Amino acid sequence: MKKIAIFASGDGSNFRKIYNQIQKGDIPAKIVLVVSNNPRCGAIIFACEQGLENFIVNHTRFPNSDTRDKLLLQALLKAKVELICLAGYMKLLPGGIVKEYQNRILNIHPALLPQFGGKGFYGMKVHEAVIEAGAAESGVTVHLVDEEYDHGKIIAQKKVKVRSGDTAKTLAKRILKVEHDLYPKVVKAFCKDRVVWE
Ligand code: GRF
């Protein structure tokens, strides 16, 4: 059983998919902590409904960023977290956490990295950029996290064709469905120690 922390800032649909697969016994893991910068987001509401521990990290709660980063790392270590899954987390992770959890932090991005990724490419902006560029395909990337946005080693990708007449919204909807399929699979592989690197 791997101990997982989920980091999410939004709706939390990827988080819910992972949670459901764990509940079904399909992923050998336990979510021991849900971290967010937004106490009112869907992910935190869901975490509370399920009785999962949560930790809110934002300026209001911890005005001093050093203290904030220190307490977050402490919370992860105290919960004995072994894998961090970013699922729509809108903040850059503190360097100390990236270091401590090297090769044990996953992120999902709604495009085919390295294209349409990096600072500023988040949420609907990603899909708007894909449509604007006239790309024939987009997709989903699950990757390891390092200090740069959307930069670490790619673990899995799945393509999604851009259809003529697609808007950012219609494309986002199809891509999210693929995310819901791919992310739990990668988390499962990781929890079964099937993700290896040289
Ligand atoms: C997803 O599109 C994910 O790829 C991106 O943020 C979005 C989160 O959606 N990183 P949700 O909160 O899981 O519904």
Angle, helices 13-23/42-49, rounded to nearest 10 degrees: 20
Integer CA distances (angstroms), 178 to 85, 109, 159, in order: 17, 11, 9
Identify the residue whose C-alpha is closest to ligand 1 atom 1: 88
pLDDT digits (tens, 9 = 90+) for 28-38: 999 999 999 99
pLDDT digits (tens, 9 = 90+) for 38-84: 999 999 999 999 999 999 999 888 889 999 999 999 999 999 999 99
CA dist., res. 191 & res. 183, Å (int): 12
Indicate the top mutation candidate among 14, 17, 171 to test ligand 1's pocket, ranked by most ligand atoms within 8 A of CB. 14
pLDDT digits (tens, 9 = 90+) for 135-182: 999 999 999 999 888 889 999 999 999 999 999 999 999 999 999 999
Question: pTM for the complete prediction?
Answer: 0.95
Question: pLDDT value at position 107?
Answer: 97
pLDDT digits (tens, 9 = 90+) for 86-116: 999 999 899 999 999 999 999 999 999 999 9
Active centre residues (catalytic): 109
| Cα 62 to middle of ligand 1, angstroms | 25
| Cα 88 to middle of ligand 1, angstroms | 4
Question: pLDDT value at position 150?
Answer: 87
Question: pLDDT value at position 198?
Answer: 67
Q: DSSP string spanning the chain?
A: -EEEEEE-SS--HHHHHHHHHHHTTSS-EEEEEEEES-TTSHHHHHHHHTT--EEE-STTT-SSHHHHHHHHHHHHHHTT--EEEESS--SPPPHHHHHHTTT-EEEEESS-TTTT-STT--THHHHHHHHHHT-SEEEEEEEE--SSTT-S-EEEEEEEEPPTT--HHHHHHHHHHHHHHHHHHHHHHHHTT-----
Question: pLDDT value at position 103?
Answer: 93
- Please list every protein residue whose CB sits less than 6 Å from any atom of ligand 1: 8, 10-15, 87-88, 108-110, 176, 179
